[in-house]
Amino acid sequence: MTTWTNWSRLETARPTREATPPDADAVVAEVRRALESGSTVKMVGTGHSFTAISAPEATMLRPDRLLGIVSVDRDAMTVTARAGTPLKVLNAELERLGLSLHNMGDIAEQTLAGAISTGTHGTGGTAAGLAAQVVGLELVTGTGELLRATPEENADILDVARVGLGALGVLTTITFRVEPLFVLEAVEAPYGWDEGLASYDEITASADHVDMYWFPHTDRLQIKQNFRRGTDLSVRKPLSRTQLLLDDRFLQNTVFGAATAVLNRLPAAIPRFNRLGARLLSDRTYSDVAHRVFVAERDVVFREMEYAVPRAAGLDVLRECRRALDASDLRISFPVEIRVARADDIPLSTAGGRDSFYLAFHTHRDAEHRDYFGLLEPILRAHDGRPHWGKVHTRTAADLAPAYPRFEEFLALRDRLDPQRVFANAYLRRVLGD
Ligand SMILES: Cc1cc2nc3c(=O)[nH]c(=O)nc-3n(C[C@H](O)[C@H](O)[C@H](O)COP(=O)(O)OP(=O)(O)OC[C@H]3O[C@@H](n4cnc5c(N)ncnc54)[C@H](O)[C@@H]3O)c2cc1C
């Protein structure tokens, strides 16, 4: 039997059985089989969660045959796709149809089900995260039933299961709200710390999507502002392939990647390197269809912790994290990423019920991440922070419950849909309880 390993290589598992179901009936059969033997089933995505949230303990279901678009409803402006479809495949198919998702994160490798199940988000926009764009889903519950959940049918399940942590069922199809394919213009520019933080509220109010990076041990920020430029694709001014290769793939992944690998052994050089790195990222403006601007390639393997704090507290939390890092003897070579999202109405979404400010901390895969994350997690937690379900954190059910006003509602639905805990694993036992 193969060993399952996640993208960051932080987690591994040894499933005892493996299957690649081609349809919902095959998923039902797997769940019933596990129920009869008192065992467990875990559908994995592409393993892009840094946590062991998708680690299978007995049967591992692979998503590789649950692929592609099932239907398009142009009146309702919705698209239904099979749950194992990688986001990048959906993006390409939507582009061919002249359609687009509203907002997404900074990669598109993940499966649709994996992405929504952990509350994957981008920055800005009118819909908080990918799950907030979901208007229907089909799932196989822990009792082996295939259910459809829409605003008209099983609406209570749709409400909660959009961010289901893989604990409520195996998703087989997901229906997203879509819009006409649109052009996004990116304006990237360096800012000083004081200047960037002073104008941050104004920037996030005027741009549609804002991604800010702070280079630790420096006063330097890089801010990417994305503006929606309508549906006329002829106005696009994409980066040339050479610019793309040079600026993004080469600089951000190869140079920084190689450098951070070396810097792990030379931490004293990190502040100087970060100042240099921030200077190399210059001003640039380009535009393309939205998903090409939202998404980047990530070749360097890293570890990440990300927390959502209330939007209004965000800049102060960032300042507090900087003070703590400055006062420590840690040297961090990866930029800190800062994003914002509107509140949504999903019980376990990190943006559930409140506008949110996301702070993401990274280390190279060969660097020790525990000291860094351990230094900052108490600060984030003290500010009512909620950890990204797919990124490194140490929280447990007892201390996550007060962070989510609708936590009990989620647990009650879990009891109803998975009374025998067919979908349990160690991570879910930690964050949701037995
Ligand atoms: C390089 C990189 C960049 C990232 N960028 C962002 C970002 O910009 N924004 C952000 O918010 N996150 C980001 N993430 C995190 C990532 O989006 C999430 O961890 C996401 O869950 C990964 O999806 P996956 O397909 O790899 O799922 P996995 O990590 O394999 O699984 C995640 C969860 O989904 C469940 N699941 C998978 N398939 C099904 C199914 N069919 N039915 C029910 N449950 C299922 C699994 O059981 C598990 O509980 C990033 C991660 C990496 C490594």
**Cα-to-centroid distance, 24 and ligand 1 (Å):** 21
In the predicted model, what is the mean pLDDT of the chain? 93
Q: What is the mean pLDDT of residues 226-237?
A: 96
**Exposure of 361 in the CB half-sphere (CA atoms within 13 A):** 26
Closest ligand 1 atom number to CA of residue 48: 26
Give 27's DSSP letter: H
pLDDT of 245 higher than 90: no
> Which residue out of 50, 62, 118, 392 has the highest number of ligand 1 atoms within 8 Å of its CB and is therefore the one to mutate?
118
User: What pLDDT score was predicted for residue 260?
Assistant: 65
User: What pLDDT score was predicted for residue 264?
Assistant: 64
> Which residue out of 23, 120, 168, 301 has the highest number of ligand 1 atoms within 8 Å of its CB and is therefore the one to mutate?
120
* Residue nearest ligand 1's atom 51 by CA: 48
Report all structural domains of the chain as residue ranges with CATH numbers, in order of start.
Answer: 69-180 (3.30.465.10), 183-387 (3.30.70.2520)
- Is the CB of 217 within 6 Å of ligand 1? no
Q: What is the mean pLDDT of residues 121-129?
A: 90
**Cα-to-centroid distance, 54 and ligand 1 (Å):** 9
Name residue 352's beta-bridge partners. 344
pLDDT of 246 higher than 70: no
pTM (predicted TM-score): 0.95
- Is the CB of 222 within 6 Å of ligand 1? no
**Cα-to-centroid distance, 368 and ligand 1 (Å):** 23
- The encoded tokens of residue 364 equal 């190279």
**Cα-to-centroid distance, 46 and ligand 1 (Å):** 7
**Per-residue pLDDT tens over the stretch 197-210:** 999 999 999 999 99
CA distances from 279 to 29, 191, 228, 305, 397 (A): 56, 10, 27, 25, 43
In the chain, the percentage of residues whose pLDDT exceeds 70 is 91
pLDDT of 272 higher than 90: no
* Residue nearest ligand 1's atom 12 by CA: 120
pLDDT of 365 higher than 60: yes
**Cα-to-centroid distance, 11 and ligand 1 (Å):** 14
Closest ligand 1 atom number to CA of residue 428: 49
Model confidence at 1, pLDDT cuts 50, 70, 90, reads: confident
* CA 367 to chain CA centroid, nearest Å: 22
Strand order in the sheet with 209-214: 284-289, 183-192, 220-228, 209-214, 336-341, 356-364, 302-310, 386-387
- Is the CB of 42 within 6 Å of ligand 1? yes
In the chain, the percentage of residues whose pLDDT exceeds 90 is 85
Q: What is the mean pLDDT of residues 133-143?
A: 98
Q: Which residue has the tokens 């704090």?
A: 309
Helix (H, G, I), strand (E, B) or coil at 174: strand
- Is the CB of 107 within 6 Å of ligand 1? yes
User: What pLDDT score was predicted for residue 417?
Assistant: 98
**Cα-to-centroid distance, 246 and ligand 1 (Å):** 28
- Is the CB of 225 within 6 Å of ligand 1? no
User: What pLDDT score was predicted for residue 239?
Assistant: 86
**Cα-to-centroid distance, 110 and ligand 1 (Å):** 6
**Cα-to-centroid distance, 42 and ligand 1 (Å):** 13
User: What pLDDT score was predicted for residue 402?
Assistant: 97
**Per-residue pLDDT tens over the stretch 15-41:** 999 999 999 999 999 999 999 999 999
**Per-residue pLDDT tens over the stretch 162-194:** 999 999 999 999 999 999 999 999 999 999 999
Model confidence at 408, pLDDT cuts 50, 70, 90, reads: very high
User: What pLDDT score was predicted for residue 281?
Assistant: 67
User: What pLDDT score was predicted for residue 263?
Assistant: 66
**Cα-to-centroid distance, 403 and ligand 1 (Å):** 21
Model confidence at 100, pLDDT cuts 50, 70, 90, reads: very high
Model confidence at 261, pLDDT cuts 50, 70, 90, reads: low
Give 403's DSSP letter: G
> Which residue out of 44, 50, 336, 418 has the highest number of ligand 1 atoms within 8 Å of its CB and is therefore the one to mutate?
44
